[in-house]
Each structure stands twice: as structure tokens, then as C-alpha cells.
Homo-oligomer: A and B are copies of this chain.
Amino acid sequence: MDTLETRELRYFVAVAEELHFGRAAERLGMAQPPLSRAIQQLERRLGVCLLERNRRGVRLTDAGEVLLHEGRAALDAIAAATRRTRRAGGADGPGGSRGRLVLAVKAAASHELLRKLLDAYAAEPGSAEIELLPCGICEQEELLRDGRADAALMHTPWNSLAGFDSEALTTEGQVAVLPAGHPLAARESLSLADVRDVPDLPLARWPTRGTYAPGPGPEIHNQTQLAQLIALGRTVAVVPDSARSWLWAEHTAVPLTDAPPVVTHIVWPAHSRSLTLAGLVRTATRL
């Protein structure tokens, strides 16, 4: 009468994402009629209309929109339960050591900090093995939610810490990275306004929470690509101070006076009660 089954959630999310019973059924590896029936049963059990079936396609009702969001969150929680239990049971990969932690990090971000953290933690008595999970620009939230990672290093203001527990580790300023020969590269310092208004160098755009702000500059997907575009004189970027470590000879970094500071946090699921994780966090905050 009340509790939804995982299967029903999976089915509904598939239909709500595809907005097409046939395609959704294909994605789920089943035939279309039982899927239609399952969704009908779901609507009857909830006492709520989730989909508007116009001939030619399907649309979500307000309630359907809610169930899509909440259902995704619930499916993530279930996947997380599976993954973390398997990991705790030593049923993963080779070695199968107990208490292993998976730490999600953006490639090449906070490199110095990460090295110090790993060294310091490994020196702790009784420390567990830390597996690093390199991930894309804004993937950490998802990895924490669905249990593929147990902790992550995140950087405000780019990442959102909402929904997680976190501790701030370091704060740093930002610099503008310019082609070495550019006139602005000779300046002692710059303001954000300076950088935004260079006519021949449109500001590179990083994704914020997975989407790109509109603008003239190129959309950046990884750090190597960015480095190359800057070196070729096609763009300028605003990056944290610690990014100086991967600059090329053809780059010049100029401090920004008014850019928001970048804070690196260690982040974990709010409900976590793992002692292993607590140890890692303690080590991190003591750095």
C-alpha cells in the first residue's frame, strides 16, 4: 500500500527521462507492455497521476517531476548502499583489504595538498588504504551520492557542498593565466574587470554545477586543453594560485586583486559513521 519498490522507481525514472515507453523499455531490457502496466500500477498505488499521455508522446505532471527528482535521489542512495556494503565486506577488486576508502579528486587539482594529505595519512597508525578516483570537473557530488566514492576534495565556489558534511582545508587566491607575450602579462596585478574585457582574449568558461555559462570564450573540459588554448593565445583563464604548478613556459600568471578566494574542502556524505573516514578527515584538518 505504501512503500515503493526499487524496480518501480527504476522503471519510472527511465520513462520520465525518455518520455517514451518504447525507448524506456528498450533501455530497461524489457518489452513495452509490462512497462506500461507497471507505471499504471505505480500511479494507482500512489493515487497520483504522474504522466500526461497525449497521443504522440508523454509529458510529466508536477507530481511526476517530483518523483523523478526524489526517485533519482533514492536510487542513488540504494546504489550507494550496495557499493559501500560490498566495499566494507572486502568483496571488491583484488586485495580486498578492509576499511579501504575511495577518495574522489579532480585530476591535477590540489596536487600539493593531496600529496601532503596522503603522506600524512599513510603515516598514521592503523590507517587504511586510500584509493584515488580521478574524476571530471564537477563529478564529485555524483560519486559521493551513489557510493562510488567515500570522500572527495572539492573547491568552492565551483562545487556545491550542499547535502554533504565538509571541512575547509586551505584557502588560496586566484591568478589570471595569460599567453606570455600578451601586454597584460607584464602587469603586476589585475582585476576581474581587466580580464573580462580583453577584446582579443575571450575568458575561458568552466562548467559550474555541470553547465556552462553563456559567453564568447571556449568551453573548457580539461586542464591540458585549457593550457594549450592559452599558450596559443586564444583565451585567458582565472584559476587558483596553486595551479601555477602546471603552467607552461609560454604562460604567465598575474595575481587577481578581486577574484573570490578558492577554498579546498574535504567532503563526505553527511550520514557517514565510518571511523576510517573520520581518521582521514582528522588527518586532513591537522595539515
Binding site for B on A (CB under 8 A): 2-7, 9-10, 46-50, 61-63, 65-67, 69-71, 73-74, 76-82, 84-91, 98, 147, 162-165, 269-274
- Min CB gap A39→B, angstroms: 13
Assess whether A46 is in contact with B91, with CB atoms less than 8 Å apart. Answer: yes
Do the beta carbons of B63 and A74 come within 8 Å of each other? no
- Smallest CB separation, A217 vs chain B (Å): 28
Q: Which 5 A-B pairs have the closest CB atoms?
A: A163-B270, A48-B89, A63-B89, A70-B81, A74-B77
Residues of B within 8 A of A61 (CB): 89
Given A89-B61, A163-B164, are A81 and B4 also a contact pair (CB < 8 Å)?
yes
How far, in Å, is A285 (CB) from chain B's closest CB? 15
Beyond the given pairs A47-B86, A69-B273, A163-B271, 14 more chain A to chain B contacts, judged by CB atoms under 8 angstroms and listed by A's residue number, are: A3-B79, A47-B91, A48-B86, A49-B89, A62-B89, A63-B85, A65-B88, A70-B81, A73-B80, A73-B81, A74-B77, A74-B78, A78-B78, A163-B269
Pick the contact of A165 from B74, B88, B162 — CB < 8 Å?
B162
Chain B residues with CB under 8 Å of A3's CB are 6, 10, 78-79, 82
A47 to B98, alpha carbons, bound, how many Å? 15
Closest CB in chain B relative to A100 CB, distance in Å? 12
Cα A272 to Cα B65 with chains together (Å): 11
Instruction: Specify which chain B residues have a CB less than 8 angstroms from the CB of A165 in the assembled complex.
Output: 162-163
| CB of A171, distance to nearest CB on chain B (Å) | 21
Do A88 and B74 touch (CB < 8 A)? no
- Measured between beta carbons, the chain B residues less than 8 angstroms from A62 are 88-89, 98
Residue of B nearest to A274 (CB): B66
Chain B hits for A6, CB < 8 A:
3-6, 78
Docked-complex contact A80 and B70, CB < 8 angstroms: yes
How many Å from the CB of A99 to the closest CB on chain B?
Answer: 8
> Shortest beta-carbon distance, A189 to chain B, in Å?
34
Contact check, A77 vs B77: say whether CB atoms are below 8 A apart. yes
A85 to B79, alpha carbons, bound, how many Å?
A: 21
On whether the beta carbons of B7 and A48 are closer than 8 Å, the reply is: no
Q: How far is the CB of A147 from chain B (nearest CB, A)?
A: 7
Instruction: Write out the residue numbers on chain B whose beta carbons fall within 8 Å of the beta carbon of A162.
Output: 164-165, 270
Residues of chain B contacted by A49 (CB below 8 angstroms): 89
13 A-B residue contacts at CB 8 Å? Answer: A3-B79, A3-B82, A5-B6, A46-B89, A47-B89, A50-B89, A62-B89, A63-B88, A67-B81, A67-B88, A69-B272, A74-B78, A74-B80
For A273, the chain B residues whose CB sits under 8 A away are 69
